[in-house]
Amino acid sequence: MLIDLKNKVVIVTGAGRGIGRCIAETFAAEGAHVVVTDINQELIQDVATVFAQNGWAGSQFLCDVRNSDQINAMVAEIVKSNGRIDVLINNAGVAPAGNVETLSEEAWDLNSDINLKGVFLMCKAVIPTMKAQRSGRILNAASFAAIMPTAGGSAYAATKAGVHFFTRALAGELGPYSITVNCYAPGMIPSGINDFAQSAPERKRRLLDTLTLRRWGTESEVANLLCFLASDLAGYITGTMVDVSGGKYATQLPRAPYEAAEAAGLYTFDD
């Protein structure tokens, strides 16, 4: 069985760094035409250089997912140049945190405008094209926080839970046109949005002890899931959230089996 993404026109928002960049590069390496978009021109330029070096197909747009004028101009240009849009990956996201009592309205709005409204605006812009094609894949970044929120991360969790239900509602609207809409919930992937990799040993141990697969996730593990969900193989999957978190809280006391494996000489803790 082959995941064939060749020549698919794929938009990835927030593709300048982190998971989004990995998604963009993974799809490009699979032969897709990848539209790299981000709010940061320097990052886009950097990705463009890597695309050119590898001979990958694609284009780049400076685009703030909060700005419907920029989005509509970008989508019009993509349709003009490529004639279609096969996949939209709404990856762009931020996570300003703080307890509700002290969280600023600006921090709340940033979460809300980028993580949730940005997804809405991007979807709204590509729907007419996908409807006319009678095909399309929309993949929205939720988070494990949409399953279980972190105290101090209310704004982020609220937006990501919002992305989940937005995804389901939109899947219903677009079913008649064979457009699937899904979201995905990464767990703990070290990147610019978090400080997992810089954790002091005690915090690292505490975080890893929540995982059934006891290690940080990688950006590639998210990108690989999306390659499948974006492909023709995933045509009967819609309106769902796929957890790519290493089984975070999937089991009770997930450390215990590791201790048993260590006692049997079959596992070594490295933290």
Residue type, 176: P
Q: DSSP for 186-218?
A: E----STT--GGG--HHHHHHHHTTBSS-S---
Q: For Cα atoms 195, 198, 204, give the angle at the middle one, nearest 5 degrees.
A: 95
CB of 194 to ligand NAD, least distance (A): 5
Site string for ligand NAD, 132-151 (x = CB under 6 A): ---------x-xx-------
Residue with smaller CB distance to ligand NAD, 133 or 194: 194
Residue with smaller CB distance to ligand NAD, 4 or 109: 109
Site string for ligand NAD, 30-69 (x = CB under 6 A): --------xxx--x--------------------xxx---
Phi, psi of 247 (to 5 degrees): 70, 40
Residue with smaller CB distance to ligand NAD, 69 or 101: 69
Interaction between residue 125 and ligand NAD (CB under 6 A)? no
Interaction between residue 244 and ligand NAD (CB under 6 A)? no
Instruction: Please report, for residues 1, 12, 141, 202, 216, the alpha-carbon distance to residue 47 in angstroms, rounded to integers and kept in the order given.
Output: 30, 12, 20, 35, 24
Considering only 36, 47, 74, 114, the residue that binds ligand NAD (CB under 6 A) is 114
CB of 268 to ligand NAD, least distance (A): 25
Considering 156, 249, 258, 267, which one is annotated as catalytic? 156
Q: How many CB atoms lie within 10 A of CB 156?
A: 26
Residue with smaller CB distance to ligand NAD, 174 or 188: 188
- Concerning whether 156 is annotated as a catalytic residue, the answer is yes
Contact between 9 and 33 (Cβ < 8 Å): yes
Contact between 209 and 202 (Cβ < 8 Å): no
Q: Which residues contact 57 (CB under 8 A, 6 or more apart)?
A: 7, 28, 31, 32, 33, 34, 51
Interaction between residue 246 and ligand NAD (CB under 6 A)? no
Strands (E), the chain: 9-12, 33-38, 58-62, 87-90, 136-141, 179-186, 241-244
- Measured in whole angstroms, the distance separating CA 178 from the mean position of its chain's CA atoms is 22
Residue with smaller CB distance to ligand NAD, 177 or 249: 249
Contacting ligand NAD within 164-193 (CB under 6 A): 186, 188-189, 191-193
Structure tokens at 220: 């590639």
Interaction between residue 92 and ligand NAD (CB under 6 A)? yes
As annotated, the active-site residues are 156
Residues in touch with ligand NAD (CB under 6 A): 13-14, 16-20, 38-40, 43, 64-66, 91-95, 114, 141, 143-144, 186, 188-189, 191-194
